[in-house]
Amino acid sequence: MLIPFEQIEADTLTRLIEDFVTRDGTDNGDETPLHTRIERVRHALDKKQAVIVFDVESQQCQLCLKRDVPKEWLADLEMLSAQDSAE
């Protein structure tokens, strides 16, 4: 299930992004400062290049590139975003 990042409180989103960019295997020896890595992910979310995926079974969120997500999930996300804009 995809979660529109706009529906997540700012502090929660920041913690989610921090968790993602500090996980083992995500830095690959990259010495980029934490705040820069966080801003890169925010930018990708803003530009709709990345999405937040919630796994119901594990009760965990992941950040994924949009191209790696099933197209039907993206259609559901676009429908949710359109509903939010209409309200």
Give 85's pLDDT tier (boundaries 50, 70, 90).
low
pLDDT tens digits along 52-70: 998 889 998 889 999 998 8
pLDDT tens digits along 20-54: 988 866 556 668 888 999 999 999 999 999 999 98
Looking at residue 38, its pLDDT comes to 93
The CATH number of the domain covering residues in 2-86: 1.10.10.610
Give CA–CA dist 59/62, Å, rounded: 10
Looking at residue 72, its pLDDT comes to 83
Give CA–CA dist 77/62, Å, rounded: 15
- The domain spans of the chain are 2-86
